[in-house]
Every structure is written in structure tokens, then in C-alpha cells.
Amino acid sequence: MVPKIDVFKCDGCGICVKRCPPQIMGLINNKAAILIDLCEECGICHEVCPIHAIHFRLPNYAVQEIHNAYCVPREFTPNPGNWTVGVPRGHDGEGH
């Protein structure tokens, strides 16, 4: 997941800049900025942000909108009248 900074929420406190392990974050015009190509995606910037201005977004890979499991009808549907519940015990119910 790639972090995304909401510049409208960011107040420029710099906590995320100090805590970033690879040191790829900085402040531009008193707003947090990140070099996404060098990001290790550790999530520390998201965790330490006191005002929740850093979010993670999933990469947009071409996801199939319709899955085959939802389109194919069931071929065999069991009849609930033939099911046995519990352990069969015999003709007198005691296992004899």
C-alpha cells in the first residue's frame, strides 16, 4: 500500500518526517511530502500522525468486476429431506 497525504488536513507538525525510517519525507510549504518511489510502505507515518492526515491506498490493478463464482449456477442442490442429523442409533434409538 502506498501512503497518501491529505494536504488539507496536514498542519506541518513534522512528526512523520522525524519518524520515517528511510528518511524520505520532508516538509514543503509546511505540509508533509513523501517520495513514493523510495517508500518502504512500513506504515509508521500513518501510525504517528496525530491528526490522521496520512492514509494508505491500495494500488489500482485491473481487478475483474464480475467473478465467475457468482455467475455459474449450482449443478447439484442437495435435498434437505434426505439429511441425517446426529448419529444414527438403530431401530430402538439405543444403537441396537
pLDDT in tens, 2-43: 889 999 999 999 999 999 999 999 999 999 999 988 988 888
* Residue 28: per-residue pLDDT: 93
Q: How far is CA 28 from CA 15, 25, 33, 41, 84, in A?
A: 14, 10, 6, 21, 70
For 79, half-sphere exposure in the C-beta direction (CA atoms, 13 angstrom radius) is 2
**pLDDT value at residue 52:** 92
DSSP annotation of 16 reads: H
Q: What is the pLDDT of residues 55-90, one digit of tens each?
A: 976 555 655 555 555 555 556 555 666 555 565 566
Of 53 and 83, the structure prediction assigns the larger pLDDT to 53
CB 90 within 8 A of CB 96: yes
DSSP, res 39: -
Q: CA end-to-end span of the chain, whole Å?
A: 63
Which of 72, 68, 34 minimizes the C-alpha distance to 54? 34
Say which CATH topology domain 2-57 has.
Alpha-Beta Plaits (3.30.70)
pTM for the model: 0.55
